[in-house]
Amino acid sequence: MDRDFFSGRPDHQAVSVLVHEMLHSLGLQGHVDAPAFQDSNMYNAWFRLDGSLPAIDAAGLQALYTRLGEETEPEDLSVSSLGAWSRETVHLGGELDDVAFGVRHSNGVSMPWTTGAEPAGALADNTGLSGTATWNGGLLGFTPALEVVGGNAELSVDLGTMDGRAEFTELQSWAAGAAPGTLGTGSRWNTGSLGYTIAVAGNYLRSTGGDDGIVNGQFYGADHEGVAGSLERDDLTAAFGAARD
């Protein structure tokens, strides 16, 4: 990607274009022209992606890699060639001040998502913050057996180094199909806590070490009042959201 081209543009435009081109490389070769599909990143490579792939693009990849044979020709494609698709989805979701977050599950795949208002600038340039900033909130997710997992989420960032920690504590589980209850009503999940070191660039964060799994996220709100993201492991697909203290 041409750094000069994206210099001065919002971070989300570079992310959106990068995802668009990666989808091409994964096999979505064409562009969607019909206005009926304007929520696809293959229709508009410039819109802001909030925390996950658009649902229609995720379904496209799922069809490409799980429903079609390697030698399938375009002329052999049809609705029936994709087999049976579920008409139902299962959702977990939460909302906290400037962020909303959750996980949707359909056709055997759990997908975390987040959304919120775009910050006015990069976290490192927020002159109203200094020292270490902390955000507190919650986590929601599914195990592979669709058991529901919930817990607390705390993120802290040293604004001098832009490094920090993501801590998920009091992790509890409830039976598949049940709504998450208040903490203390479920069974302890795994060891009950997970921790990661994180690094921040612009308004995006990623894990750099810690327990098994990958943490990704972004900051929300004009003054970075919120943060939300995903935690993905072999035994858990979760989303988290938190508000700044």
pLDDT, tens only, 9-59: 877 888 889 899 999 999 888 888 777 888 899 988 887 887 778 888 888
pLDDT, tens only, 172-211: 999 999 999 999 999 999 999 999 999 999 999 999 999 9
pLDDT value of position 189: 98
Q: Does the reported pTM lie above 0.75?
A: yes
Percent of the chain with pLDDT strictly greater than 70: 100
Task: State the SS3 of the chain.
Answer: CCHHHHCCCCHHHHHHHHHHHHHHHCCCCCCCCCHHHCCCCCCCCCCCCCCCCCHHHHHHHHHHHHCCCCCCCHHHCCCHHHCCCCCCCEEEEEEECCEEEEEEEECCEEEEEEEECCCCCCHHHCCCCCCEEEEEEEEEEECCCCCEEEEEEEEEEECCCCEEEEEEEEEEEECCCCCCCCCCCCEECCCCCEEEEEEEECCEEEEEEECCCEEEEEEECCCCCEEEEEEEECCEEEEEEEEEC
